[in-house]
Amino acid sequence: MGVLFSQSLVAQTDIKPVFVIVHGAWGGGWAFKKVDSLLTETGSNVYRPTLTGQGERVHLASPNVGLDTHINDIVNTLLYEELTNVILVGHSYGGMVVSGVADSIPERISKLVYIDAIVPENNESVLSIFGAMNPKFKVKNGAILPPWVTEGQSPPKDVPHPLKTWEDRIQLNNPNRLKIPTSYILTVAKGADPARDDFASQAARAKEHGWSMFQLEADHNAQWSAPVNFVSILKDIECN
């Protein structure tokens, strides 16, 4: 019995790395299932919460869902799961969300990772950063439709994203957010010019902040097009 008890104590003190992955617009935690599996195989604990109104929570969609709603989704994940020393990863629009989370509870976060993600400054919105909305996106009932999804397509699939989250201006006032070690991963398609990438301007912001910079050969959704290499970079960031 003493041996078993001793082994139990060792197990309790063997703290695994904790990754919390925040998906982008139109998506859901489902999109990072493969990344979750690969990270779990390395001994990490992984959380991939779905933002309100997205993915399997699409039934909660409403024009009133704003950026603060999504920030609170992740803040509450960390609080209610009692997570500390979190490596917080934001993809695309998820960069807005993780920035707000880091501003709210920086003491819970050991590292921040932006992958092809927005890097906001105080009082900026998605629309103020990128200017006018791309004409390929149509808005219906207060949500931005994903034009690549066909009518009647079965889940899992991308779903309309609340417009308000792109209009809301983020409030970043906690200086402790800037003390968190932060990395930026720019995904660039094979043979493409990184300077012409859709997120090149955001990578430039990251570089100006002095963050660790990585470039990954992949399309915008590296969780599908290059999951192994994506996870390899995450583990490098974890260990450095």
Q: How high is the pLDDT of residue 6?
A: 41
Laid out side by side, the sheet with 86-91 consists of 45-47, 18-22, 86-91, 109-115, 182-188, 212-217
Q: Is 3 a domain residue? A: no
Q: Which residues of the chain have pLDDT under 70?
A: 1-14
End-to-end CA distance of the chain: 39
Q: How far apart are CA 184 and CA 53, in angstroms?
A: 27
Q: Is 143 a domain residue? A: yes
Q: How high is the pLDDT of residue 15?
A: 81
Q: Is 5 a domain residue? A: no
Angle, vertex CA 159, rays to CA 99 and CA 105, nearest 5: 20
Q: How high is the pLDDT of residue 14?
A: 58
Nearest Cα neighbor of 139 from 220, 26, 60, 23 is 26
Residue 151: both structure tokens together: 């009518």
Q: Is 31 a domain residue? A: yes
Q: Report the b/e string of 26-42 with b at 16+ CB within 10 A.
A: bbbbbbbbebbebbeee
- In this structure, what CATH number is given to the domain that contains residue 143? 3.40.50.1820
Find the domain containing 23 and state its range: 16-239
Q: Is 7 a domain residue? A: no
- Which residue in 37, 44, 92, 110 is the catalytic one? 92
Neighbours of 3 (CB within 10 A): 7
Nearest Cα neighbor of 163 from 23, 72, 67 is 67
Q: Is 53 a domain residue? A: yes
For the chain, the domain total comes to 1
Determine whether 92 is an active site residue.
Answer: yes
* Three-class SS state of 86: strand
pTM attached to this predicted model: 0.93
Q: Is 4 a domain residue? A: no
Q: Is 2 a domain residue? A: no
